[in-house]
Structure 1
Amino acid sequence: MKFSEFNFHENILESIAASGYEDATPVQEQVMPIIMAGKDVIASAQTGTGKTAAFLLPLLNNLLTGESNDHHISALIIVPTRELAIQISTHLDGLTYFTSLSSIAVYGGGDGQNFVQEKQALSKGADIVVSTPGKLIAHINMGYVKLKQLQYLVLDEADRMLDMGFHDDIMRIISNLPEKRQTLLFSATMPPKIRTLAQKILKNPEEINIAISKPPEKINQQAFIIYEPQKIPLVKHLLKDSPFKSILIFCSKKQNVKQLTRDLKRAGFNAEEIHSDLEQLQREEVLRSFANKRLPILVATDILSRGIDIDHIELVINFDVPHDGEDYVHRIGRTARAETDGTAYTFVTEKEQRRLAMIERLIGREVPKASVPPELGPVPSYNPGGSGGHGGKKKKFFHKKRKAGQ
């Protein structure tokens, strides 16, 4: 379906055309008409499906065609991380270029000037505010945030916010909002705690379910079974003469991010790191360089596993196996976005084998085991059953699933 068929305001269509977009994704096709009709929505959509535009475009359209108060906040988008707040704000800048709508991102880690700008927007009014929960609570506690005439509330990556312990902050924010509003809840997964939250804050919502906890089929997934000391040498081997021009490497620990980045730089690779120890301005500059293709290799903690809106990532390397299957899906979902293919490598030590087996059960398929270069030395056998067990249990599981036609 073409964007031109949605009856958007002419200024929105102009922004869409300038961005080079023509066809809506499935989640956009299903969600946008419901939002434009004024209904509450609870939606799950797999990463890379165009979810952000699915709520931004109808939101902007409704603000342009409806009534608004210049001295109040009209729409509030709550997100789990400052990186996602910045990305949505950047997306908004492009989509509102041909309009007079105002927006601001509110998040921690900024300087005094940022605080002054945030206070001015929150006290004098803005069309759209994108904020992390904790930072918005800090402003609300000072008594000047104009939320009483809010028309639209969006919770993006709601499952991630609950995982990060933001439930009470979210409910505190909502207690300051008018009951008469349109609420949109987006979540990559739909665990019971999301259902409970939805029952509290949504009114007769339309439910859209496009995502399941499986990565796109077009991602070439491979696992390397190795010992811990072989991880950095294997990264260097894979990156040497690599055809991939945009590479994102995930580590579960900050010290791994720092060590790997140091070793890659010493080996002559153009790589940078991003984690919570960096100043906010440093993190933004690194992410900007990666997004603009000036930086080919980015080493990151899970702070970027969700929400990063970069379409050109060709290879994702899991330096450490994620702690749960959902994180695995989100990590490798950073590649193969839009219409592109992608590749995902996962390094698996003896201690991480059981974790990989659990991930394979979640995604309903076995991740092919790749050959480790012989020059790296002997490697462990794949034995996810643990002490005294063997890999046959896992194979039997997949055989049963195929036999049952699942």
Structure 2
Amino acid sequence: MPDRPDALPAQPAATGPAFAELQLAPEVLTNLNQLGYLTMTPIQAASLPLALGGHDLIAQARTGSGKTAAFALPLLGKLNARSLRVQALVLCPTRELADQVAQEVRRLARAAENIKVLTLCGGSPIKPQLTSLEHGAHVVVGTPGRLLDHLQRGSLALSALNTLVLDEADRMLDMGFFDDIVAVAEACPPHRQTLLFSATWPEGVERLATRFLRQPRTVKLDLQHDGSKIRQLFFEVEHPQRLAAVVRLLQHFRPQSTLAFCNTRQQCRDLVECLQAAGIDALALHGELEQRERDQVLVRFANRSCPVLVATDVAARGLDIAGLEAVINVDVTPDPEIHTHRIGRTGRADASGLALSLASSADRRRVAAIAQTLGFEPEWQPLDALTPDEAPLLAPMATLQILGGKKDKIRPGDVLGALTGEAGFSREQIGKIQVTDAYTYVAVSRDIFDLALRRIAEGRIKGRRVKVRAV
């Protein structure tokens, strides 16, 4: 984002107690250091000593606060690597969050040898999952419905389980998973450690905690966002002008990664159409998309192949995108908790962020109520004072989809080697590489996209030709 008088605030230095203060094995501390885990976030500092001590835990923490490490380190510390039986189970609300959690658990497990982490989620074929379960796993991460399916089939055995994690419990309940969660938890051994993480505390979460946790310790952090990290700006705009106002905001601030929230699917579609007409790359994420379409949208946004993602609150549940520069509220929500969740997707870790909200004159009272509840003074700016740059806002990367994935034993290193070896591209021209069961997605610099597509089609990966296309 260009240096402007109203640009983002400077990034604060990381603070917090060191991981070395915990009772962790030397090889675990070495791995944490290599991964850049030097100091603990507030949720890690508050919960890790309790969880590592074997206590059941209730922790209120939002996505992006570092909670994955807060439950992954304790569950990894109890694994018997020699036994390929499921010893830890993590329930997540969405496939995207489950994939992110599994990936982070694998990174944190590098200190131990051959720890197998398996994801079991709906929207993926069940047969490869059945085969993977036959070969065994130490940790399973999945969505409640698919986990219950495997339990009913008898393909998931939990007799060796010692840790159960309920991640984003409030979101799972919002999505109607209460009965599934209960069924999965009842299938677990009674003598286990249970760690429950939830950003909010509705009645359903209280019922789960009372039913399945034993003398839990509670960690409740201030869920307000650091005002020095997220700058909130409000603009008064009447309804008919909102879509054009979003264009103006993006043309002025020109963030490389923006999540725009709409209240309806139709508004998502209308806004994407308006943005594209203005030369701004944008994709929509809403409930009418098939799983394959949703996966491709999220891959493109996460790997910097599209600068703007327009989504409804429901479609964005469990979504965690690293390095999100800005959030735009196309409509102000009347719920302070939803407002907090929306803007909290930017300004994560040590990064800074921008939260831009559009509100009509009739919405000013609603904004005042949110500000009073959350304890901040709303900063209003006139939309006419912005100076839009009408040059196209395009992503720096573009995405290739290779037909072939984990089932074909393709690894990110194989794709990177093919592109930087025979194809002759530099490492800097290659972005994020994501390997799923059936496909591999690779981001490449926009200026080499056509050539990279041709080189992969003409070359070989793992000694064989592959089919590749643009997405």
Shared fold, TM over 0.5: yes
**Alpha-carbon contact 1:324-1:355 (below 8 Å) kept:** no
Residues 265-312 of structure 1, C-alpha deviation per residue, up to 9 Å, x if partnerless? 121112222223333333333323333333322222224655433341
**Alpha-carbon contact 2:81-2:114 (below 8 Å) kept:** no
DSSP 3-state at the match of 2:153: coil
Deviates more, 1:151-160 or 1:192-201: 192-201
Between the aligned partners of 2:226 and 2:314, the Cα distance in structure 1 is 21
Structure 2 counterpart of 1:109, one-letter code: G
Partner of 1:105: 119
How far has the Cα of 1:196 moved from its partner?
2.8
Name which of 59, 64, 67 aligns with 2:75: 59
CA gap of 1:42–1:307, structure 2 versus 1, over 3 A, is same
Between the aligned partners of 1:368 and 1:238, the Cα distance in structure 2 is 15
Name which of 95, 99, 119 aligns with 1:86: 99
CA gap of 1:354–1:120, structure 2 versus 1, over 3 A, is farther
Task: Report the TM-score, using the length of structure 2 for normalisation.
Answer: 0.72
Residues 112-159 of structure 1, C-alpha deviation per residue, up to 9 Å, x if partnerless? 3xx122223445531111111112222222232211221110001111
Structure 2 counterpart of 1:26, one-letter code: P
Structure 2 counterpart of 1:368, one-letter code: E
Structure 1 counterpart of 2:351, one-letter code: T
Matched, 1:335 2:351: no
How far has the Cα of 1:374 moved from its partner?
7.9
DSSP 3-state at the match of 1:215: coil
Matched, 1:181 2:192: yes
Between the aligned partners of 2:299 and 2:357, the Cα distance in structure 1 is 26
Partner of 1:153: 164
Name which of 303, 312, 319 aligns with 1:308: 319
Alignment of 1:217-256 (within 5 A): 217-218=227-228, 219-256=230-267
**Alpha-carbon contact 1:75-1:153 (below 8 Å) kept:** yes
Structure 1 counterpart of 2:76, one-letter code: L
Matched, 1:295 2:306: yes
CA gap of 1:67–1:312, structure 2 versus 1, over 3 A, is closer
**Alpha-carbon contact 1:46-1:210 (below 8 Å) kept:** no
Partner of 2:60: 44
Partner of 2:279: 268
How far has the Cα of 1:77 moved from its partner?
0.6
Partner of 2:400: none
Tell me the matched-pair count. 369
Partner of 1:76: 89
Between the aligned partners of 2:338 and 2:29, the Cα distance in structure 1 is 35
Structure 2 counterpart of 1:85, one-letter code: A
**Alpha-carbon contact 1:305-1:327 (below 8 Å) kept:** no
Runs of 4+ in 1 over 4 A off after TM superposition: 303-306, 350-355
Between the aligned partners of 1:90 and 1:341, the Cα distance in structure 2 is 24
Between the aligned partners of 1:91 and 1:165, the Cα distance in structure 2 is 26
Structure 2 counterpart of 1:102, one-letter code: K
Between the aligned partners of 2:259 and 2:55, the Cα distance in structure 1 is 38
CA gap of 1:10–1:276, structure 2 versus 1, over 3 A, is farther
Between the aligned partners of 1:265 and 1:93, the Cα distance in structure 2 is 38
CA gap of 1:6–1:289, structure 2 versus 1, over 3 A, is farther
Structure 2 counterpart of 1:19, one-letter code: L
**Alpha-carbon contact 1:227-1:349 (below 8 Å) kept:** yes
Partner of 1:203: 214
Name which of 23, 28, 31 aligns with 1:12: 28
CA gap of 1:266–1:6, structure 2 versus 1, over 3 A, is same
Between the aligned partners of 1:192 and 1:119, the Cα distance in structure 2 is 35
DSSP 3-state at the match of 1:39: coil
DSSP 3-state at the match of 1:249: strand
CA gap of 1:322–1:190, structure 2 versus 1, over 3 A, is same
Between the aligned partners of 2:30 and 2:128, the Cα distance in structure 1 is 28
CA gap of 1:74–1:351, structure 2 versus 1, over 3 A, is farther
Between the aligned partners of 1:362 and 1:129, the Cα distance in structure 2 is 39
**Alpha-carbon contact 1:305-1:330 (below 8 Å) kept:** no
DSSP 3-state at the match of 2:155: coil
Deviates more, 1:190-199 or 1:177-186: 190-199
How far has the Cα of 1:335 moved from its partner?
0.8
Unaligned 5+ runs, structure 2: 1-16, 387-471
Between the aligned partners of 2:57 and 2:82, the Cα distance in structure 1 is 21
Name which of 70, 95, 108 aligns with 2:108: 95
* RMSD, matched Cα: 2.5
Alignment of 1:21-36 (within 5 A): 21-36=37-52
**Alpha-carbon contact 2:169-2:197 (below 8 Å) kept:** yes
Matched, 1:286 2:297: yes
Between the aligned partners of 1:323 and 1:135, the Cα distance in structure 2 is 34
Higher RCO (CA < 8 A, seq sep 6+): 1
Task: Report the TM-score, using the length of structure 1 for normalisation.
Answer: 0.83
CA gap of 1:160–1:351, structure 2 versus 1, over 3 A, is farther
CA gap of 1:145–1:184, structure 2 versus 1, over 3 A, is same
Between the aligned partners of 1:348 and 1:68, the Cα distance in structure 2 is 58
Deviates more, 1:49-58 or 1:326-335: 49-58
Between the aligned partners of 1:297 and 1:230, the Cα distance in structure 2 is 19
DSSP 3-state at the match of 1:96: helix
CA gap of 1:221–1:369, structure 2 versus 1, over 3 A, is same
**Alpha-carbon contact 1:153-1:184 (below 8 Å) kept:** yes
CA gap of 1:350–1:81, structure 2 versus 1, over 3 A, is farther
CA gap of 1:205–1:14, structure 2 versus 1, over 3 A, is same
CA gap of 1:37–1:101, structure 2 versus 1, over 3 A, is same
Partner of 1:347: 358
Structure 2 counterpart of 1:300, one-letter code: A
**Alpha-carbon contact 1:79-1:156 (below 8 Å) kept:** yes
Name which of 329, 333, 337 aligns with 1:318: 329
**Alpha-carbon contact 1:222-1:345 (below 8 Å) kept:** yes
CA gap of 1:176–1:267, structure 2 versus 1, over 3 A, is same
